[in-house]
Amino acid sequence: MDRESGRRIVVAGGGSWGTALGHMLAARGHRVTLLVRSAAVATHVSARHENPSYLRGMPLHPTLDATTDMTALRTADIIVLSVPCQHLRGWLAAALPHVRPGTVVVNTAKGLEEETLARCSELVGAIWPETRYAMLSGPSFAAEVVAGKATAVVLACMDEALGAELRAVFSSPSFRCYSSTDVIGVELGGALKNVMAIAAGVCDGLGMGANTRAALMTRGIAELSRLGAACGARPLTFMGLSGVGDLMLTCTGDLSRNRQVGVRLGRGESLPDIVASLGMVAEGVRTAAAAWKLSRRLDVEAPIIEAMHDVLHGRRTVRRALEDLMGRELKEE
């Protein structure tokens, strides 16, 4: 076991991504506990090495433990947050009594809080002010990580030395982790690309071709970069793994929940029916509203985000949204 192994890590959240990271980190040699809501899931993970609710049929590392007891957080060197963004504030408040000052927090949730437009780093900073924060993002389907397929992500931390340390902790032979100090850019890339993935899915659901998808993705990156720069991010960050990399995956991959939402909208299904049948979170649905509000607050042109906000709130049909985007005033790229 090398010097980066053997950390005490608690992964908060037993969904697909939390489970996949817990498996990967346990296989890396760390002492990992998955903190979940369901006692039945916790027992199944610990005893049978499988998550019965997510990634069913995929064997998990035998040393991965699971619990529902928040006191597990008290001994953690690193807390990995895999709690959906819209539920994060409440979860952080409930867990606060069990979090030691100085604990390292690695967030993986991608989104903006709909009511406040806060990024996850701002939520953690406000509720757990004595912790050290990093953000893990990038093109990574959970099932492929568990299957050991080569994956590359980025870990953003304002403390460059801590970022380099975490980069080594989270890397494995099949999971390559780069580091960055642009926390704002990495967070916004991960959040906003989900809105673009819904838009790409809508185009596919309408039967549009590869030309349409390529145009949507390219203009989507331009939109992400504009809005990110207005928030203080480095535009170049959006050309990396948390921007264009994650965008490519979620706009084209069949495992993308956000793309699935868009495809089904394009085929004429109602949003409530789609959300009810998914069985897991598609963050882009809530992020679209927050991103639209953010673009208006900062006076940033974001036509794709605005179109998806209107579609998701019943203000425009999917075909009208596409026509409006194509009919916008002609200008230089």
Residue that is written with structure tokens 């489970």 in the block: 19
Tokens of 306: 């605005």
181-205 burial, b for 16+ CB within 10 Å, e for fewer? ebbbbbbbbbbbbbbbbbbbbbbbb
Q: What is the spatial order of strands in the sheet that 8-12 belongs to?
A: 65-67, 31-35, 8-12, 78-81, 104-107, 132-137, 151-156, 175-180
The pTM for the full model equals 0.94
Closest to 12 in 3D by CA, of 92, 93, 75, 113: 92
In tens digits, what is the pLDDT along the chain, a chain of 333 residues?
344 558 999 999 999 999 999 999 999 999 999 999 999 999 999 999 999 999 999 999 999 999 999 999 999 999 999 999 999 999 999 999 999 999 999 999 999 999 999 999 999 999 999 999 999 999 999 999 999 999 999 999 999 999 999 999 999 999 999 999 999 999 999 999 999 999 999 999 999 999 999 999 999 999 999 999 999 999 999 999 999 999 999 999 999 999 999 999 999 999 999 988 887 667 899 999 999 999 999 999 999 999 999 999 999 999 999 999 999 999 988
Pick the catalytic residue from 149, 193, 293, 331.
193
The reported pLDDT for the residue numbered 64 is: 97
Determine the Cα–Cα distance for residues 104 and 98; give it in Å rounded to an integer: 13
Contact 287, 225 (CB under 8 A): no
134 strand-pairing partners = 106
Residue 320: Cβ within 10 Å count: 13
Question: Does the annotation mark 193 as catalytic?
Answer: yes
